[in-house]
Structure 1
Amino acid sequence: MARGSFEGAGGSLLSDLVPRHLTPVPAPADPLALVPQVRAALDGTAPLAVLPAGPPAAVEAARAVLRPEQPLEDGADLVVVTSGSTGGGRGVLLPAGAVHASAEATLHRLGGPGAWLLALPVSAIAGLQVLCRSLLGGTAPTVLGSGEPLTAAVARMPARRRYTSLVPTQLRRYLDAEPAALRAFDAVLVGGAATDAALLARARDEDVAVVTTYGMTETAGGCVYDGEPLGGVQVRVTDGGVELAGPVLATGYRLDPEGTAAAFTGGWFRTRDAGTLDDSGRLTVHGRLDDVVVTGGVNVAPQAVEAVLRQHPDVVDAVVFGRPDDEWGQRVAAAVVPAPGATPDLAALRPWVAERLGGPAAPRELHRIDAVPTLHTGKPDRRGVAAAVTHRRS
């Protein structure tokens, strides 16, 4: 689609006197089948919401959030259901102009239009944005098939600038199996969850053009790249919490005026992420304010503990969360994926973490799991793990 086709996008072109309704679209086996609907949503002529692929319960939960029987709010052209990583999922109301502004700013930061590899679900904003950026750049994305080697997908891409978006778990997997395929991209955007510094360093040592992205559905996807906001985006930190502003913002939450008023105020979105800005204005995100484990009066960031646990030779992956504790208020609990042939235990992992982050951060409860489950966005399902594992300590 030519770039000019998007000019003037920013809201519905339909009369405000005619109520609009959503007809949620099931995620198709071939994401390219959604291109006509995405184009119509970005032109402001037909709203779009994509249901996640997966268990029927997850699909019905998303449909319940969308409530298609109710008229759609003014100015919304895409409604994207969040993963619910910090509670129940929400329907985020995105005007076409916000998605357009995000895609345009991304292409400007990366150096211009290119060929995109779609490796994420289109029901999540990161995957949906691959379709939108491709339309804006006048290209068709290449879809990574289920179980397809990354090398094979890259071979199907046109010989021009190449981009893709991944979550950290995918980056780690491809670094282990196909680092040469990652080097074929002019930019590998990594976001959706915190990325360990060690993983980033490893990717850069492999000459992978990795770009860390920070953002969320409410900002039409990543809006801060490598700590620096995209064009038009503003960042501030208030009482330790990151707040964002600019043309990429959603207008609010589907059928949730109270939630909208609490999160969107005065042109700013309150993210509920903890962060700091250095003297040059570069943002560092320290994790969710909601996820902080307060143990013995000390705040512990689960992401920091997870990163240290992954560095242990007996651990492949980890998820950290808090448990109620009569003595400490909360105790740090960890679920780890053992390395092949290893049997990590608290006796080994507690001192490993304590030496690097201090005693309060050392897990007091440990579970061994086969793999870290993810939400439909690719984020680790921290709450799901916490609910699934038993209270017994390993």
Structure 2
Amino acid sequence: MNFSCLDSLNQSSNPSLHYAMKVLSMYEDIGSVEFLKEDPKLLGTDIVNKITVPQSRIFRTSGTSGVPQKVYHNEETITFAVEALLDRIGRENYSSFCCLPLNHVGGWMQVERAFRTGGSVLFGDYKDLAEVDMVKILKHRWISLVPTQLHVLLNSSLGLKNLRSSIGIFVGGAELPPAIEMKAREADIPLWPCYGMTETAGMITALDSDSFLDHGSGVGTCLSHSRIKIVEGRFSIQSKSLCYRFGESKIPKNDWYETQDLGTFEANIGFRITGRTDRCIITGGEMVSPQVVESFLRETSLVTDCMVVGEEDNHWGQRVTALIILKSNAKLDDLKKIARKSLTSIEYPKDWKVVEAIPISEMGKLKE
């Protein structure tokens, strides 16, 4: 098997390297692969004939809103996803420093891009970027991060140096908080904010780094293989890279796929993500956007991070609850006073919990 897309600088003991080698070997068998967390699984012919088309790649959703679902891609949808991104970035090959898990689309698609274009993938931990001088290594590579990882690296002088040396950094998986966006722009980091999902084999929109550094915001415009329409504030997607099956449901080609994502579109700006319907909190018969409350709390400069959730309540239906990581010299009472003055009575959290860590998955999704 040709493993040339796996960079020679990879350490032989790296688990991601072994994972990638197993999958590529399964590809040689022209098999369908299920991307499980610990190890990829080659599906038997009997199973493939019943539920998949040949050479399927089967991922799982993050499970943010319930039980993780299987998402079925094939050679065609993966190819469209790779080619559309290359069209946008204007390059013939793709090499990256991959620090996302390979059982997720965001990680594995980096291997697919390198494999199909003659590029290479170097695996590592995102924390390496804050601890090791990798400027020469990253000079011709892309990086993909989720906002929580970016937040950590922006607070490291070496992290900033390494990020600036890369071709660009795709940031997706969750909303990019305004404070992080501003800090990255001030540090001259070549961010490419993007939007996509497991069902579309990765990103379907992107904002280029030049536009980002020139004070552009949001997640840019659609890549060449996709379209988005907004119906009652919710994104619906039509994409050539859309999966052919989701859980037990087949997805017909060219169908509009309704998402849980809320957003807007403005000419000359592009798309913005404003939240998710499955995160909205219904309290006292009214709807609260946790993202609005979270953005406000972060902008007070009294918190390192936060998350707002709805907890079951016999009286309110759901109770707005804020999980807070306070900065070292900050006081919760001061935060409450500021929030009381600015948030509506419905938005103001009824419970405040100071925590040591926010429950975030490895892909930057909230574990509620």
The list of structure 1 runs, each at least 4 consecutive aligned residues, that deviate by more than 6 angstroms after superposition, is 40-44, 66-69
Which deviates further from its counterpart, 133-142 or 88-97? Answer: 133-142
Matching residue of 2:203: 222
Alpha-carbon contact 1:175-1:203 (below 8 Å) kept: yes
CA gap 1:334/1:67 in 2 versus in 1, 3 angstroms: farther
The one-character-per-residue Cα deviations of 1:359-379 (angstroms, maximum 9, x if unpaired) are: 322211111111113224232
Distance 1:80 1:301 in 2: 29
Matching residue of 2:213: none
Matching residue of 2:238: 245
**Residue 318 in 1 paired to residue 306 in 2?**
yes
2:116 partner letter:
L
**Residue 84 in 1 paired to residue 63 in 2?**
yes
Deviation at 1:333, TM superposition (A): 0.6
Q: TM-score, normalised by structure 2?
A: 0.82
Matching residue of 1:169: 148
Deviation at 1:321, TM superposition (A): 0.8
Q: 1:202 aligns with which of 163, 166, 183?
A: 183
Which deviates further from its counterpart, 207-216 or 106-115? Answer: 106-115
Q: 1:117 aligns with which of 77, 94, 97?
A: 97
Matching residue of 2:289: 301
CA gap 1:43/1:297 in 2 versus in 1, 3 angstroms: farther
Distance 1:283 1:108 in 2: 19
Matching residue of 1:46: 31
Q: 2:338 aligns with which of 313, 328, 352?
A: 352
CA gap 1:43/1:193 in 2 versus in 1, 3 angstroms: farther
Distance 1:380 1:174 in 2: 20
Deviation at 1:146, TM superposition (A): 7.2
CA gap 1:150/1:274 in 2 versus in 1, 3 angstroms: same
Deviation at 1:358, TM superposition (A): 3.2
**Cα-Cα RMSD:** 3.1
Q: 1:268 aligns with which of 244, 256, 277?
A: 256
Q: TM-score, normalised by structure 1?
A: 0.77
Give 1:56-67 correspondences, 5 Å limit.
none
Deviation at 1:69, TM superposition (A): 8.3
Alpha-carbon contact 1:144-1:150 (below 8 Å) kept: no
CA gap 1:266/1:31 in 2 versus in 1, 3 angstroms: same
Alpha-carbon contact 1:154-1:181 (below 8 Å) kept: yes
Which deviates further from its counterpart, 112-121 or 229-238? Answer: 112-121
Distance 1:204 1:142 in 2: 26
Matching residue of 1:148: 128
Matching residue of 1:187: 168
Matching residue of 2:212: none
CA gap 1:124/1:166 in 2 versus in 1, 3 angstroms: same
User: Counterpart of 2:346 in 1: which secondary structure?
Assistant: helix
- Identical aligned residues as a percent: 26
Q: 2:366 aligns with which of 360, 377, 380?
A: 380
1:205 partner letter:
E
Matching residue of 1:290: 278
Which deviates further from its counterpart, 195-204 or 322-331? Answer: 322-331
Which deviates further from its counterpart, 229-238 or 107-116? Answer: 107-116
Distance 1:44 1:249 in 2: 24
Matching residue of 2:18: 33
Deviation at 1:111, TM superposition (A): 2.6
Deviation at 1:115, TM superposition (A): 2.6
2:309 partner letter:
F
Distance 2:239 2:254 in 1: 11
Alpha-carbon contact 1:142-1:157 (below 8 Å) kept: no
1:191 partner letter:
G
User: Counterpart of 2:80 in 1: which secondary structure?
Assistant: helix
Deviation at 1:120, TM superposition (A): 0.7
Unaligned 5+ runs, structure 1: 6-27, 54-58, 384-394
Distance 1:134 1:306 in 2: 37
Alpha-carbon contact 1:124-1:376 (below 8 Å) kept: no
**Residue 278 in 1 paired to residue 274 in 2?**
no
User: Counterpart of 2:134 in 1: which secondary structure?
Assistant: helix
CA gap 1:266/1:143 in 2 versus in 1, 3 angstroms: closer
Distance 1:336 1:47 in 2: 43
